[in-house]
Amino acid sequence: MHPVAIAGTLSPWEPAVFSLVIYGILILILVAALFFIASWLGEKKSNPEKSRPYESGIIPTGTARLHYPIPFFLVAVFFLIFDVEGAFIFSWGISCKGLGWPGWLQISFFIIMLLIGLVYIWQKGGLDWGPTRTRD
């Protein structure tokens, strides 16, 4: 068995560990040198135009405290939920032959729980984004 594969036998002088340490040190030296050269050669002129906040080509006016509607946040949360769900189902789909029936039962339970959550959100009005007169 290769000595690096045995737990507890990693020595700093092993070729893989030694080359990784040298590589890390060289990267740190390179980054430090690039930062130094950029600060040394860069212009240091300051004026009010450079210190003005600037976002996507638009000069900001007014306050930054904007009131976003609730559906904006619902879309973000739904995206995160369904994105993670898609990652789980995709990874299950890749290894479904190796998982067999226990894996199928587990992903079925996962999908059923997601559907129950979706029905709950639907009943509570989480998917109604239009204007309403009353909220339960």
pLDDT tens by residue, 63-111? 777 777 767 777 777 887 788 888 888 888 898 888 899 999 999 999 9
**Does 29 reside within a domain?**
yes
Buried-exposed string 45-83: b where 16+ CB fall within 10 A, e elsewhere: eeeeeeeeeeeeeeeeeeeeeeeeeeeeeeeeeeeeeee
**How many residues in the chain?**
136
- Are both 34 and 80 inside the same structural domain? no
Domain that holds residue 3: 1-43
Give the span between the Cα atoms of 9 and 4, in whole angstroms.
Answer: 7
The model carries a pTM of 0.44
Q: 58 lies in a domain?
A: no
Residue 62 within a domain: no
Helix (H, G, I), strand (E, B) or coil at 130: coil
- Is the pLDDT at 6 greater than 70, yes or no? no
Are residues 76 and 118 both part of a single domain?
Answer: yes
- CATH number, domain with residue 90: 1.20.58.1610
Instruction: Tell me how many domains the chain contains.
Output: 2
Q: How far apart are CA 93 and CA 107, in angstroms?
A: 10
What is residue 9's predicted lDDT score, i.e. its pLDDT? 61
105 φ/ψ angles, rounded to the nearest 5 degrees: -65, -40
Higher per-residue confidence, 37 vs 122: 37
- Asked if residue 1 belongs to a domain, the reply is yes
Query: Domain for residue 30, yes or no?
Result: yes
